[in-house]
Structure 1
């Protein structure tokens, strides 16, 4: 598939580009409406493609905790055995909690963690009915509320009898940016993993106490523009960090519900590195 098409979809999902304008541009690139419509299923996210990790040995539930302006909801998964676990906060992309991210939570639970996946959109009221509504609603969220709502996860975890006090986080795209933001703002966070996420301001890096792991897609010019400055700041402030770039793959390469951008080899390698990292810093 032409990289131009992948880049257009990235623009549509991250910038104020209406769906009608996106389709018009896609028709221009592909040459016809029919060709554009045949391409759509390959580039758009479809949760029908989401993997479903076997849940036989897992305990799962949906919980709520205080947020702003409304109540936050989250999906929780952990091993069935009733004991204390290190927690991993799973942070979604810029569409809210979905089947893919819930499965990522189950994967973390399979690795022996108390996984909690909050839905940033839940605090804003009724959940959107489709992707376009979710994108619009996301643009209306206030950054200060988002930060508060994810910081409140730590207070909620402290109330659970199955939590051992050690917390890490992993985020994807928008969630990768939030993982970096939590590292700056939560001193008790022990490990933060960001998949192709926005970097924090370099002047804030000195506040980080967590170990940091960063995953970047080689073709993701938009996000990668901030990589060098972030790494330099991490080195300058003696922050423990790991950084990986996966050549020839696109933004969202870990998301298995988007066929054209998903890269199985890179996704599996990055996830194993994530689990190894959490094993080193949380267990």
Structure 2
């Protein structure tokens, strides 16, 4: 039997990965389920290459690009873990104060994909800062499985406080124009929603990619404009949208939601088989246009 190809992988395999990546099943169960597809003709190497990240694919802007400068910066987080650290990327060809954007990673730490997103923003003229929630444990360990386990072991409330501290650090940066945006993916999408809700004057604009909303009791604080990016095949996240939208409407929050047809959770992440090049490019163009409108 010829091994079936990557483009034929059924949606259920991506659903299993989503469940595994978010703590719904352990790795042993995930691999066992993939084994049922091997039994009907799929190659395990094809399956894992489609579902698991390959960060060599994710570099769109080199860290050596002459238009940007990247450094690691620490910040105080007295209500979180005491100290935090992140990846700061600055445009080198702009002398004026800059609009600033916080970039928030998924549930596995500051991996190469998220660092590249920060570089893409800097290349577009923003001062971008991508904190690493795993810094108190030594930082992103170099692989997502270990990073996911590390982040799961941490106090979620302290992580949230670290991101609040990072947002304030960036907003008050000497190069900041005082207008703070935030973009995040999955867990990071949740953090963007949380930052918009926890303090009404913290964000000017937020772009949560496939992230769940903050708790209902916090949403009354939201004043930031939101551009909400959702994937049509992402049932887990999308089931929270109707309630969130009702609250945003009731509160008069300026928002726009885009639902990307045939897109999977994680469709913007160009290091995995869930990547949807066309939808990712459209979502990113909309993100930059939104930030240009709200932050400059």
Q: What TM-score does the superposition give when structure 1 sets the normalisation length? A: 0.94
User: Cα distance, 1:159 vs. partner?
Assistant: 5.0
Aligned counterpart, 1:218: 232
User: Cα distance, 1:229 vs. partner?
Assistant: 0.8
Aligned counterpart, 1:59: 69
* 2:218 alignment partner, one of 200, 204, 211: 204
User: Cα distance, 1:16 vs. partner?
Assistant: 4.5
Matches within 5 A, 1:140-219: 140-157=153-170, 159-186=172-199, 187-219=201-233
Relative distance call for 1:86 and 1:145 in structure 2 (3 A) is same
* 1:242 alignment partner, one of 256, 266, 290: 256
SS state of the match for residue 266, structure 2? coil
Contact 2:100–2:171 (8 Å) recurs in 1? no
Aligned counterpart, 2:3: none
CA deviations 1:213-266 (Å, max 9, x no partner) are 1000000000000011111110010000010000111000000000x2100110
CA deviations 1:33-90 (Å, max 9, x no partner) are 9822331011111111112315211122111112332531111112113331111000
Cα distance in 2, alignment partners of residues 198 and 99 from structure 1: 23
Moved over 3 A (4+): 124-127
Matches within 5 A, 1:76-95: 76-80=88-92, 81-95=94-108
Cα distance in 1, alignment partners of residues 175 and 257 from structure 2: 31
Contact 1:84–1:164 (8 Å) recurs in 2? yes
Over the aligned positions, Cα root-mean-square deviation in angstroms equals 1.7
> How many aligned residue pairs are there?
282
Find out whether 1:3 has 2:11 as its counterpart: yes
User: Cα distance, 1:145 vs. partner?
Assistant: 0.5
Relative distance call for 1:158 and 1:208 in structure 2 (3 A) is closer
Q: What TM-score does the superposition give when structure 2 sets the normalisation length? A: 0.90
* 2:48 alignment partner, one of 40, 57, 70: 40
User: Cα distance, 1:126 vs. partner?
Assistant: 5.3
Contact 2:81–2:162 (8 Å) recurs in 1? no
Contact 1:70–1:122 (8 Å) recurs in 2? no
What residue ranges of structure 2 are gaps of 5+ in the alignment?
Answer: 1-8
Cα distance in 2, alignment partners of residues 228 and 159 from structure 1: 35
Cα distance in 2, alignment partners of residues 5 and 220 from structure 1: 13
What residue ranges of structure 1 are gaps of 5+ in the alignment?
Answer: none
Aligned counterpart, 2:5: none
SS state of the match for residue 12, structure 1? helix
Aligned counterpart, 1:139: 152
Contact 2:102–2:170 (8 Å) recurs in 1? no
